[in-house]
Amino acid sequence: MTATTEMSGFSISGPVAPMTMQRRLLIGAMYAILIGAAVLSLIPFYWMLMSSFKPLQDILTIPVWLIPREPTFANYHELLTTTLFARSMFNSIAIALINVVLQVFLCSLAGFAFAKYEFRGQALLFTLVLGTVMIPASVQLVPNYIVMGRLKWLDTWLPLIIPGAANAFGIFWMRQYMYSIPDELLDAGRLDGATEFGLFWRLVLPVARPALAALALFVFTTSWNDFLQPLVYLRSQEQFTVQLMIATIFRTKFQQNFHLLMAASVLAIIPMTVLFFSVQRQFIAGLTLGSLKE
């Protein structure tokens, strides 16, 4: 078996060395470690899933049954009928989707402007935007709470949406990707009479779909898993997000509600799982193509 390699105009051909036994053992050991780590990481999820189909007394029984003796959906029925968990799921999905739409649009628009236009103070403005990343979120809580209180936005969704509508990470992410879009494409659009916003909407956004999908997944994940901000700004259970509702179930008679906690945890991971597998290809492309090109 031979192989040909071309480097700087020269071609090198010769037999390909067979894989040595030592290399095969090394690769086999590496795969064994990765498979073992994957199995270990799945054990808690498997236990959570199986426990969600068990009555409370079976969950607390020792030794633990790996498979439910009598699987039941009673935990899910009790969770959805005796608590406001269904409402909290709706709240979290709505807040996350609104955040995705706003942040993807505004961050891509700002990233396009920073990447493709030159204006006075551009470098300083972008430096100030990136500088906001260095301010810890915990430091911002008190002043943000005072502002939201004066705006009468407490116990509403607005504090979870408006302050992060155009965040520094999203702007930086889209700016870096926009550099990979050739200027000739924009010049051709201008020759065809497209407006500047038309260039962004009709030419840039379709090309930047991988970066948009990756950013959308980041935003949805961050919003869905957010616990601190809903804890600070929300008061009534009708406005609670899914993370707050799970914490409420955890705090209220923990051992008596352990079966509900397992069912709630299973339901809470479904939207993220579905979303990731839906945009998996675009997400990986967004991470690997053009995001670091400048």
> What are the residue ranges spanned by the domains of the chain?
78-288
pLDDT in tens, the chain (294 residues): 444 444 444 444 545 456 688 888 889 999 999 999 999 999 989 989 998 998 888 887 777 777 888 888 999 999 998 889 999 999 999 999 999 999 999 999 999 999 999 989 999 999 999 898 888 888 888 999 999 999 999 999 999 999 999 999 999 999 998 988 899 989 999 998 889 999 999 999 998 988 898 899 999 999 999 999 999 999 999 999 999 999 988 887 666 788 888 999 999 999 988 888 887 776 666 555 544 444
Q: Which residues contact 88 (CB under 8 A, 6 or more apart)?
A: 237, 240, 241, 242, 244, 245
The two tokens of residue 294 are 């400048």
pLDDT of residue 210: 86
- C-beta atoms surrounding 2 within 10 Å: 7
SS3 253: coil
CA–CA distance, 45 with 241 (Å, rounded to integer): 22
State which CATH number among 3.40.50.880, 1.10.10.1100, 1.20.120.430, 1.10.3720.10 fits the domain covering 78-288: 1.10.3720.10
CA–CA distance, 48 with 61 (Å, rounded to integer): 15
